[in-house]
Amino acid sequence: MNTRPRPEALTLLRHGSAIAVADLAAVYTWRTWLFGWLVRMLSQVVFFTLIGRLTGGDERFLVTGNALMVCAVEATMVVASSAWERSLGTLPLLVAAPARLAWTFVVRSLQWVISGTATSLVALFALGPVFGLRWTAGSACAAVPLVLLTSLGTYCVGLALAAFVADRPGLRNVVSNVAYLGMMAVCGVQVPVHYWPPPVRAVAQALPLTHELDALRGVLDGAPPVHVLLQALLGAVTGAGWLAVAVLGFGWVARRGRRTGAIEFGT
Amino acid sequence: MNAFRAGLGLQAALLRRSPGDLHILATVPLYTLILLAMTDAPHRPGLAPDAIIAPTLMALWSTALFTAGDLIDRDRYNGTLEPTVAAPAGLAQVVAGRISAVTATGLLAFAEAWAVGRCFGVHLTVRHPLPLVLGILATSLTTACTAAVIAALLVLTRGGRPYQNSLSFPLYLLSGIVVPIGELPHWLHPVSRLVYLSWSADLLRSAFRAGPPRDLPVQLLALGLLAAAGLACAGVLLRRVLARVRVLGTLGHA
């Protein structure tokens, strides 16, 4: 019988978030975030949006997609930061701790959600108007939760992938890069989802970014609120689905790690 | 030459054992697919070569920035810089060999992008083979020289590392590898021309165009000058790195 006391979810969230914030402070100073990271991401948005000028494409469509995409790029960094635990040799300690491994990982990399949301909002509100986006107080207020939902949803996609690369931490960068570029390709960021063949469209429907982006474009184009809410909800539901996959995946990692010892130091 | 070959062999063996270091190559098919889909515009035909050349240049620059750029610092972190410096072979030749191996691996991106293009139904016709071959060689050389500068700089300036990741898209934008430099503000044009990728992109694109590659000599000269400047800069920086880590006693694990 398991007699270990289970920590409260809020305690876990508090401790995990403290680690996330400490990690964020270790990775960036305000100067490196502003002049390094933000400049890089805004350049990415401009790079892809200007291609629309070259091809005669819709710049509003591109700037909206690419500005929202930057939070997805950052959220998928959870694949790499989860793998750090293995290379730091702290995974066995986390497995031995009373808290469930899955929930530890869920809260441990939330720094990417915070930073990603901020980056996307700067891109939408600062770069968007340069490429034709017109914000009202109402649309700007609606955009904030949609960006946060996108960050959280793609974070859950990244978490699920992180569980599956726990045994191969050397592949963390391959998996996270392929994941966000795959989303960039199929979720309607650069070209509409219907550009792709039906099987690819079906994959896109399983990704939160597709629905949240549709909702955001709906907000900007004055679509009926029901449509926006429905898409936002669909994004949240798919994100929750990925979270469930991640929780199951990390549970499997913990059980397998205890049995085989495959949670020791590794790179 | 032996030291160069040894560096080349060592890095090839390391890359074989650490596929994660080649993660940039995994991004090439996706970037190619994205750019081909974006430039699949019926009223603007002829953009396919740009969509195939751009991801290859992005991959070359990224390998220079992340894999080759980290070489010396990673050796230092692993504690292998000390025995490398103590060995009779010159550090510069070993590093040059290792960077060449990374750059050569980055060239696989050309084949990847080409293959994705074929799957997408794009059949590129090389109209001027000589500029294509010279362009690839000159770009590889300049990439390797620039990577050597980055490798030395990242050891010398600890504050530079957080900005390493920031040197990707701003440079892609500046160098006009997809969107021509003409679309950028006029005052940025001279800055763009300091980025070797701008000359590489123009040179490689000219190999697929019907008109004669009239600017070939200028483009090759520019790439040669930028490579020479990079090499000279890397030489000076590498000497400073060695002098500094010896004086500070930080040659070993740091």
For A19-53, what is each residue's pLDDT tens digit?
A: 888 888 888 888 889 988 999 999 999 999 999 88
Report how far apart, in Å, the C-alpha atoms of B156 and of each of A47, A215, B238 are: 31, 47, 9
CB contact under 8 A, A55 and B162: no
Identify all chain A residues contacting B35, using CB atoms and an 8 Å cutoff: 51
Domain holding B88, by residue range, is 2-248
Say if B160 falls within a structural domain.
Answer: yes
d(C-alpha B17, C-alpha A261), whole Å: 22
Question: What pLDDT score does B137 carry?
Answer: 94
Kindly indicate the confidence band of residue A7, based on its pLDDT and cuts at 50, 70 and 90: low
Say if A1 falls within a structural domain.
Answer: no
d(C-alpha A207, C-alpha A225), whole Å: 21
Say if B243 falls within a structural domain.
Answer: yes
Residue in chain B nearest A28 by alpha carbon: B162
Question: Is the CB of A46 inside 8 Å of chain B's CB atoms?
Answer: yes
Contact (Cβ atoms closer than 8 angstroms) between residue A208 and residue A150: yes
Say if B254 falls within a structural domain.
Answer: no
Contact (Cβ atoms closer than 8 angstroms) between residue B38 and residue B32: no
d(C-alpha B166, C-alpha B159), whole Å: 13
Contact (Cβ atoms closer than 8 angstroms) between residue B235 and residue B92: yes
Question: What pLDDT score does A1 carry?
Answer: 45
Q: Which of B26, B163, B173 has its CB closest to that of A32? A: B163
CB contact under 8 A, A47 and B173: yes
Q: Which of A40, A173, A195 has its CB closest to that of B168? A: A40
Q: Which of B163, B165, B179 has its CB closest to that of A53? A: B179
Say if A266 falls within a structural domain.
Answer: no
Say if B76 falls within a structural domain.
Answer: yes
Specify the pTM.
Answer: 0.91
H helices present in A35-171, as ranges: 39-55, 59-75, 78-88, 91-96, 101-108, 111-122, 137-164
Residues 6+ apart with CB under 8 A from A102: A163, A246, A247, A248, A249, A250, A251, A254
Q: Which of B30, B44, B47 has its CB closest to that of A185? A: B30
Contact (Cβ atoms closer than 8 angstroms) between residue A75 and residue A101: no
Question: Quick one: three-class SS letters along A78-109?
Answer: HHHHHHHHHHHCCHHHHHHCCCCHHHHHHHHC
Contact (Cβ atoms closer than 8 angstroms) between residue A48 and residue A62: yes
Say if B253 falls within a structural domain.
Answer: no
Contact (Cβ atoms closer than 8 angstroms) between residue A169 and residue A228: no
Domain holding A188, by residue range, is 9-260
Residue in chain A nearest B173 by alpha carbon: A47
Number of domains in chain A: 1
Each of the 254 residues of chain B gets a pLDDT tens digit; together they read: 688 898 889 888 988 887 777 888 999 999 999 999 999 876 666 788 889 999 999 999 998 888 777 888 788 778 888 888 888 888 888 888 888 888 888 889 999 999 999 998 888 888 999 999 999 999 999 999 998 888 888 877 766 777 788 889 999 999 999 888 888 889 999 999 999 999 999 999 999 988 888 899 999 999 999 999 999 999 999 888 888 877 777 666 55
Q: Which of A28, A46, A191 has its CB closest to that of B173? A: A46
Give the containing element (helix H, strand E) for B234. Answer: helix B216-248
Residue B26: what residue type? A
Question: What pLDDT score does A6 carry?
Answer: 53
Kindly indicate the confidence band of residue A265, based on its pLDDT and cuts at 50, 70 and 90: low
Q: How far is B1 from chain A (nearest CA, A)?
A: 32
Say if A265 falls within a structural domain.
Answer: no
CB contact under 8 A, A43 and B180: no
Q: What is the pLDDT of residues A98-118, one digit of tens each?
A: 888 888 889 889 999 999 999
CB contact under 8 A, B38 and A51: yes
CB contact under 8 A, B38 and A191: yes
CB contact under 8 A, B178 and A173: no
Residues 6+ apart with CB under 8 A from A79: A158, A161, A162, A165, A172, A175, A176, A179
d(C-alpha B113, C-alpha A37), whole Å: 27
- pLDDT at residue A9 is higher than 80: no
Number of domains in chain B: 1
Query: Can you tell me the mean pLDDT for A65-85?
Result: 93
Identify all chain A residues contacting B37, using CB atoms and an 8 Å cutoff: 185, 190-191, 195
Question: Is the CB of A86 inside 8 Å of chain B's CB atoms?
Answer: no
- Region of A61 (left: φ > 0; alpha: ψ -120 to 50; beta: rest) is alpha
Say if A212 falls within a structural domain.
Answer: yes
CB contact under 8 A, B165 and A36: yes
Residue B224: what residue type? G
Tokens coding B32: 């190619």
Contact (Cβ atoms closer than 8 angstroms) between residue B102 and residue B11: yes
Match 């293995």 to its residue by tokens.
A86
Task: List the single best residue of B173, B181, B197 to mutate versus A (max A Cβ within 10 A).
Answer: B173
Q: What is the pLDDT of residues A178-211, one digit of tens each?
A: 999 999 999 999 999 999 999 999 999 999 999 9
Question: Counting one residue from A and one from B, how many pairs have CB atoms under 8 Å apart?
Answer: 100
The mean predicted confidence, pLDDT, of chain A is 90
Say if A29 falls within a structural domain.
Answer: yes
> What does the DSSP assignment read for B101-155?
HHHHHHTHHHHHHHHHHHHTT-----S-HHHHHHHHHHHHHHHHHHHHHHHHHHH
Residue in chain B nearest A190 by alpha carbon: B38
